[in-house]
């Protein structure tokens, strides 16, 4: 594949994947509340179970991508994700829903890191890779918007469960496209007889690099805090909006779709600004801290909202800028500091930091929501974002990464 073909393949995938999984989550977030009738702690526990599965498997699957095949890892991830998505729409019992989300979490471990590593290797140009990753984030926003409209409309015309099952089947079809369309030219797998020792070696080198690089450790620490806030906010968002008086006419799925679309538009504008300035020497910490500040403001407004209008405004800020920008910048930041041989492994470590935040802080926020109410839990989530921003602002730039 030419480098331009690599870009096209990656950007096309970056558009299509969110069409299906964002449409899936739009329907699922309401399905869990309305059809399954889950309580706040149950809603957060589902995410925690997903995170526990992911954190247990993230490093083994990341090392697999670095030793066997990035493309194979992506394909397996699509198959598992499609299974978890489709089955979700067929069950309402709490244990069954927990199992489907654990499968979904397992799927992400095969997926995350392998995609960035594949792109970086096939392009073999670090600065170009950073620009493509930022463009890909905007393609994700466009794909997410498409998914919200398509699956929100499908759910409104049919049912939430139907839309969820269709999203899973579509994700399976996309996995077939990845198997046929992605090529690995610049990746050399470890010999079969040496894969175990190579995997252990890569894991150790990844740990050594992460421990010795202050900026990587900083990103990991901030990621734990932000994903803890994101887990609490994301799992409780629909329930809090309903409690604030989200209008029933038109249907709540329409309001959530509109919120998603507005958030994506704001995120696209924010990421356009990020793309223009991400090449700067210390741009990543500055952009990251600014996004944390805006996110904390949005979550705080959401927590203290007197009615659904203010709740929607707060959700718009945190969705459109807070979580979307920090996610993209963290991936680019770690990717720049990583060496080629452990790139997928380092991205897996980053994903583990995300899951650690979801498990430890997310379930804590769920307990607070269950015992003291959703507003207090969301207010604590705002403070986590603020602390992450302060942590980044007060750090000193580290030396440039090794080549």
Domain boundaries, the chain: 3-182+196-393
Q: Check residue 308 and give its pLDDT.
A: 87
SS (H, E, C) the chain: CCHHHHHHHHHHHHHHHHHHHHHHHHHHHHHHHHCCCCCHHHHHHHHHHHHHHHHHHHHHHHHHHHHCCHHHHHHHHHHHHHHHHHHHCCCCCHHHHHHHHHHHHHHHHHHCCHHHHHHHHHHCCHHHHHHHHHHHHHHHHHHHHHHHHHHHHHHHHCCHHHHHHHHHHHHHHHHHHHHHHCCCCCCCCCCHHHHHHHHHHHHHHHHHHHHHCHHHHHHHHHHHHHHHHHHHHHHHHHHHHHHCCCCCCCCHHHHHHHHHHHHHHHHHHHHHHHHHHCCCCCHHHHHHHHHHHHHHHHHHHHHHCCCHHHHHHHHHHHHHHHHHHHHHHHHHHHHHHCCHHHHHHHHHHHHHHHHHHHHHHHHHHHHHHHHHCHHHHHHHHHHHHHHHHHHHHCCCCCCCCCC
Residue 166 pLDDT > 90:
yes
pLDDT digits (tens, 9 = 90+) for 221-275: 999 999 888 888 877 788 888 888 888 777 787 888 888 888 878 888 887 787 7
Alpha-carbon gap, residue 261 to 141, rounded angstroms: 9
Residue 34 pLDDT > 60:
yes
Residue entry with tokens 């090529």: 183
C-alpha of 175 from chain center? 18
pLDDT digits (tens, 9 = 90+) for 82-111: 999 999 999 999 999 999 989 988 898 888
pLDDT bin (cut points 50, 70, 90) of residue 403 is very low
Averaged pLDDT of the chain: 84
Compute the average pLDDT of residues 116-141: 82
Higher-scoring residue by pLDDT: 151, 267? 151
Q: Check residue 360 and give its pLDDT.
A: 82
Alpha-carbon gap, residue 243 to 375, rounded angstroms: 10
Residue 175 pLDDT > 90:
yes
Letter string b/e over residues 262-282, b meaning 16 or more CB atoms within 10 A of that residue's CB: bbbebbbebbeebbeebeeee
Higher-scoring residue by pLDDT: 222, 2? 222
Residue 199 pLDDT > 70:
no
Whether the CB-CB separation of 113 and 351 falls below 8 Å is answered with yes
Q: Check residue 333 and give its pLDDT.
A: 81
Other C-beta atoms lying within 10 Å of the C-beta of residue 356: 19
Alpha-carbon gap, residue 398 to 23, rounded angstroms: 40
Compute the average pLDDT of residues 302-317: 89
Q: What percent of the chain has pLDDT over 70?
A: 92
Residue 141 pLDDT > 90:
no
pLDDT bin (cut points 50, 70, 90) of residue 296 is very high
Alpha-carbon gap, residue 375 to 85, rounded angstroms: 29
Residue 150 pLDDT > 50:
yes
Whether the CB-CB separation of 233 and 295 falls below 8 Å is answered with no
pTM of structure? 0.66
Q: Check residue 68 and give its pLDDT.
A: 79
- Residues 6+ positions from 381 with CB-CB distance below 8 Å: 228, 229, 230, 232, 233, 299, 303, 365
pLDDT bin (cut points 50, 70, 90) of residue 161 is very high
Residue 194 pLDDT > 70:
no
pLDDT digits (tens, 9 = 90+) for 320-337: 888 888 888 888 888 777
pLDDT bin (cut points 50, 70, 90) of residue 193 is low
Compute the average pLDDT of residues 53-66: 76
Q: Is 37 left (phi over 0), alpha (psi -120 to 50) or beta?
A: left
pLDDT digits (tens, 9 = 90+) for 341-385: 777 678 778 877 887 887 888 778 888 888 888 888 888 989 999
Residue 395 pLDDT > 80:
no
Alpha-carbon gap, residue 364 to 232, rounded angstroms: 9
Compute the average pLDDT of residues 11-24: 93
Least confident of 197-211, 219-233, 248-262, 290-304: 197-211
Q: Check residue 159 and give its pLDDT.
A: 92
The CATH superfamily holding the domain 3-182+196-393 is MFS general substrate transporter like domains (1.20.1250.20)
Q: Check residue 88 and give its pLDDT.
A: 94
């Amino acid at each position: 594949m030419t480098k331009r073909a690599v870009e096209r393949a990656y950007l096309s995938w970056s558009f299509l994947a969110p069409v299906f999984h964002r449409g899936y989550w739009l329907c699922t977030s309401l399905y869990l509340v309305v059809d399954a009738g889950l309580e706040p702690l149950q809603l957060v526990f589902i995410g925690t179970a997903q995170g526990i599965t992911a954190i247990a498997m993230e490093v083994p699957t990341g090392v697999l991508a670095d030793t066997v095949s990035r493309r194979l890892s992506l394909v397996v991830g699509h198959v598992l994700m499609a299974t978890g998505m489709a089955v979700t729409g067929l069950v309402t019992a709490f244990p069954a829903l927990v199992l489907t989300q654990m499968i979904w979490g397992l799927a992400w471990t095969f997926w995350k890191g392998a995609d960035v590593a594949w792109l970086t290797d096939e392009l073999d140009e670090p600065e170009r890779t950073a620009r493509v990753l930022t463009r890909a984030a905007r393609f994700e926003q466009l794909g997410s918007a498409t998914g919200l409209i398509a699956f929100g409309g499908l759910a409104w015309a049919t049912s939430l469960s139907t839309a969820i099952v269709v999203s899973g089947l579509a994700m399976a079809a996309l996995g077939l496209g990845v198997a046929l369309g992605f090529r690995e030219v610049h990746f050399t797998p470890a010999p079969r007889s040496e894969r175990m020792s190579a995997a252990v070696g890569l894991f150790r080198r990844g740990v050594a690099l992460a421990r010795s690089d202050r900026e990587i450790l900083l990103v990991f620490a901030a990621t734990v805090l932000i994903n803890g806030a994101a887990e609490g906010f994301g799992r409780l968002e629909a329930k809090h909006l309903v409690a604030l008086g989200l209008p029933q006419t038109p249907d709540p799925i329409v309001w959530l779709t509109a919120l998603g679309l507005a958030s994506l538009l704001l995120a696209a504008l924010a990421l356009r600004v990020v793309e223009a300035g991400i090449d700067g020497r210390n741009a990543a910490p500055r952009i990251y801290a600014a996004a944390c500040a805006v996110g904390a403001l949005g979550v705080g407004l959401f927590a203290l909202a007197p009615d659904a209008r203010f709740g929607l405004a707060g959700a718009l800020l945190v969705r459109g800028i807070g979580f979307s920008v920090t996610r993209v910048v963290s991936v680019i930041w770690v990717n720049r500091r990583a060496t080629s041989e452990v790139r997928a492994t380092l991205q897996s470590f980053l994903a583990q930091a995300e899951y650690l935040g979801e498990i430890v802080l997310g379930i804590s926020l769920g307990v607070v929501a269950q015992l003291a109410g959703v507003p207090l839990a969301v207010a604590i989530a705002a403070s986590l974002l603020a602390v992450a921003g302060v942590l980044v602002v007060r750090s000193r730039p580290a030396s440039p990464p090794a080549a």
